[in-house]
Amino acid sequence: MQFRRSLLSLAVGAVALVGTAPLSVAGEFDGVTVNILTRPGYVIAGRLVERGVEFQKATGAKIVVTEVPYAEIFPKIQSDWSTGTNSIDVGVFAAGWGVELDAAGLLEDLDPYIAKDDKIDLDDVAPYFREFGQKVGGKTKLLMVDGDFQMVYYRKDVLEAAGQQPPKTWEDYIDVASKIHGTDMNGDGEGDFGSCIFKKRNAQSYFAIQTFAAPIIQTKGTAQGFHFNNGTMKPIINNEGWKKAFELYKETGKYGPPDELNLDIGDTRALFKAGRCGLLVEWGDPGPLQLDDDAAAIKGKLYAISGLGSRTVLNRSTGKLVPAFKSNAPHSVDGINYAPFAAFGGWAGAINKKADQKTKDAAYAFLSYMNQSAQSSVDVTIGATGYNPYRLSQLSSPDLFVAAGMPQELAENYIGAINGALNSLNMASDMKIPGAQKYTSVVLDTQLARYLAGEITVDEALENIEEGWEEITEDFGRDEQIAAQALALGS
């Protein structure tokens, strides 16, 4: 009897529950899981996870973000998609890497999806990112979630106290770093560092060296490039220009942290947030990062310069350095040639062509959601996300960043620096040809690290890079690389 009563009450309860509970509305992508692979840590990946939760609530699609070490992102995606493993549906990686993946026929063409998408507003994406970041061979194969330029930052208070002007050239950078090195920049009574650059091997040091080299090598606009002779794909590396860049880069180490050769970007970020760096080379992140609670020592004090220049430039026919004039460096200003480097090109998402259609639809919808102004204009104001502005609306006024807590003057300086880089006719584009990752993150990075450690001379490093780049070009096919380079630079 007791059992029957219990059973009855259970049945009544269940009916009542079903009757009163709100029925879940089936989302557009209910039951679909989108697997995304990207870098580790909160930077880039963290926001994908957070936005993924919102997206799941809205559409039903489950977003799973897998994080792997930076150096493993590209090979993992390439081997997963190429060998038919297909455990990854979306890769979020450097926009420039898309070229090699697309050459292997691994990327989904996003133009048909964009045609049906009335929310993405790609006209608002800055032309460089829209045309060179998102498109490969004229078709949209990626969607940006971040826009990247490598810039120089300086501690305004420290330079003012030392009576120094912000640097204009890399020689100035070293001069200023030498003057402020050893002074106490955060009030803890200890001497701090004139310069902080992440120089660890197998990390991102190879971007910084290109930031140093670009204004010395590239003088005639973005289409000229600064890695190869575009007509022959012979490397333009074993010359006085790159040699000077290598030497300047190494010299900054005299005014940096003693363990700089073992510092990755996370380490230098911890240092400058603690107020220990007078000058640094970085992407757009330090602007909003100084607003973080743990960056009280530098809040409102870290100003940006879109890029440093060079008073001497490479004469490509002789391989020698010559002074920068309007005749040989048309974009130079007051005898200084500037070439802000679009390092990395920004993080962008691409979809595996072999994923099933429902997953591809959900993946596109999520990437579009990330890219849309409503989301990205919030994300780019939060330093920890790792996302930097790439939409025109984000760069048209400082209001977005002032609203996020940045002082007006600083916000104007910040977007001014990014706009300066973005609008430069001599902006240096990152390598966007098949094998780009190997040319730079393997060959260039290894030889640079060996030179910095004193294992080899600068001449040996440059000879080795030249030889290594030639081997890669031969492997991929010289004619194919010439064509890819022309497409990448719009030449």
Partner 1 sequence: MSYNIKNSQPGNSPAGISSGDKWREWCDRHAGSFFIAPAVTLILIFAIFPTIYSMVFALSRVRFTGDGLQFRYVGFRNFEKQFFGSSEMHFLGRTEPVSILGMIIFAVIVVAVFWWLYRSWKTASWVRMLGRSISAAMAIFLGWILCASLLSGNSIGTLYTTLFYVLFGCAVQFAIGTGLAFLCSQPIRGKNFFRVLFFIPLMVTPLGVGFAMRMIADVTKGPFEPILGLLGLQDWVWSASPWSARFVMVICDSWQWIPFIFICMLAALENVPRDHVEAAQVDGASSFQIFREVTWPQVVPVAVTVLLIRAIEAFKIMDLPNIMTGGGPGSSTESMTLHSVYIWRANDLGSSAAIAYLLLILTVVVCASFFNYVVLGQIRKART
Between 19 and 258, name the residue whose CB sits nearer to partner 1: 258
Residue 150 DSSP label? B
Q: Does residue 84 bind partner 1 (CB under 8 A)?
A: yes
Site string for partner 1, 165-204 (x = CB under 8 A): -----------------------------------xxxx-
Pick out residues in 318-377 that bind partner 1 (CB under 8 A). Answer: 353-354
Q: Which amino acid is at 458?
A: V
- Size of site (CB under 8 A) for partner 1: 46
Q: Does residue 475 bind partner 1 (CB under 8 A)?
A: yes
Min CB(282)–partner 1 separation in Å: 20
Stretch that binds partner 1, among 31-39, 143-151, 208-216, 253-261 (CB under 8 A): 253-261
Min CB(107)–partner 1 separation in Å: 10
Matching residue, tokens 């080899």: 456
Q: Does residue 83 bind partner 1 (CB under 8 A)?
A: yes
d(CA 290, CA 272): 9
Report the chain's C-alpha Rg in angstroms: 25
φ, ψ of residue 233 in degrees (nearest 5): 60, 20
Min CB(253)–partner 1 separation in Å: 9
Stretch that binds partner 1, among 131-139, 177-185, 259-267, 422-430 (CB under 8 A): 259-267
Q: How many CA atoms lie within 13 A of 188 on its CB side?
A: 9
Min CB(296)–partner 1 separation in Å: 20
Which residue from 261, 404, 483, 487 is in contact with partner 1, where contact means CB under 8 A? 261
Residue 169 DSSP label? B
Min CB(230)–partner 1 separation in Å: 22
Q: Does residue 71 bind partner 1 (CB under 8 A)?
A: yes
Contact 73, 100 (CB under 8 A): no
Stretch that binds partner 1, among 67-75, 226-234, 367-375, 483-491 (CB under 8 A): 67-75
Q: Does residue 72 bind partner 1 (CB under 8 A)?
A: yes
Pick out residues in 99-128 that bind partner 1 (CB under 8 A). Answer: 104-106
165-196 burial by CB neighbour count: b if 16+ within 10 A, else e? Answer: ebbbbbbbbbebbebbbeeebbeeeeebbbbb
> Which residues touch 163 (CB under 8 Å, ≥6 apart)?
none
Cα 204 to Cα 138, 170, 354: the distances in Å are: 29, 19, 31
Which residue from 467, 480, 486, 487 is in contact with partner 1, where contact means CB under 8 A? 467
66-94 burial by CB neighbour count: b if 16+ within 10 A, else e? Answer: ebbebbebbebbbebbeeeebebbbbbbb
Q: Does residue 479 bind partner 1 (CB under 8 A)?
A: no
Three-state SS at 467: helix
Between 100 and 379, name the residue whose CB sits nearer to partner 1: 100
DSSP annotation string for 367-382: HHHHHSHHHHHHHTT-
Min CB(203)–partner 1 separation in Å: 7
Instruction: Find, among 109, 92, 122, the residue nearest to 386 by Cα.
Output: 92
Between 208 and 449, name the residue whose CB sits nearer to partner 1: 449
Query: 376: which 2 tokens?
Result: 């990205």
Pick out residues in 397-456 that bind partner 1 (CB under 8 A). Answer: 437-438, 441-443, 446, 449-456
> Which residues touch 441 (CB under 8 Å, ≥6 apart)?
71, 202, 206
Which residue from 79, 87, 318, 491 is in contact with partner 1, where contact means CB under 8 A? 79
Between 182 and 335, name the residue whose CB sits nearer to partner 1: 182
Cα 257 to Cα 57, 261, 268, 396, 487: the distances in Å are: 46, 9, 9, 37, 40
Between 201 and 358, name the residue whose CB sits nearer to partner 1: 201
Pick out residues in 202-221 that bind partner 1 (CB under 8 A). Answer: 202-203
Min CB(201)–partner 1 separation in Å: 4
Angle between helices 47-59 and 357-371 (to 10 degrees): 120
d(CA 487, CA 102): 13
Cα 37 to Cα 71, 109, 186: the distances in Å are: 13, 19, 38
Q: Does residue 247 bind partner 1 (CB under 8 A)?
A: no
Q: Does residue 250 bind partner 1 (CB under 8 A)?
A: no
Three-state SS at 443: helix
Q: Does residue 54 bind partner 1 (CB under 8 A)?
A: no
| Footprint on this chain of partner 1 (rule: CB under 8 A) | 71-72, 74-75, 78-79, 81-84, 104-106, 200-203, 257-262, 353-354, 437-438, 441-443, 446, 449-456, 460, 464, 467-468, 470-471, 475
